[in-house]
Amino acid sequence: MTRGRGATKLEFLVVLIVFGILAALLLDRLVAVEHETERLEVDLTLRHIDIGLKLAVGERIMRGEEARIAELAVANPLDFLERSPREAADIARAGRWRYDAAKRVLSYRPRQPAAFGGSARLEWRLASQADALGRTVGLRLEPLK
CA–CA dist 53, 47 (Å, integer): 10
CA dist list (Å): 85 to 6, 41, 51, 128, 141: 56, 10, 15, 24, 17
Q: Report the mean per-residue pLDDT for the chain.
A: 88
Do 115 and 131 meet the contact criterion of CB atoms below 8 Å apart? no
Choice between 83 and 59, residue whose per-residue pLDDT is larger: 59
Domain locations in the chain as residue ranges: 9-143
| pTM attached to this predicted model | 0.77
pLDDT tens digit string along 69-94? 988 988 999 998 887 665 544 445 66
CA–CA dist 19, 141 (Å, integer): 47
pLDDT tens digit string along 89-129? 444 566 789 999 999 999 999 999 999 999 999 999 999 88
Type of residue numbered 122: L
Q: What are phi and psi of 63, to 5 degrees?
A: -85, -5
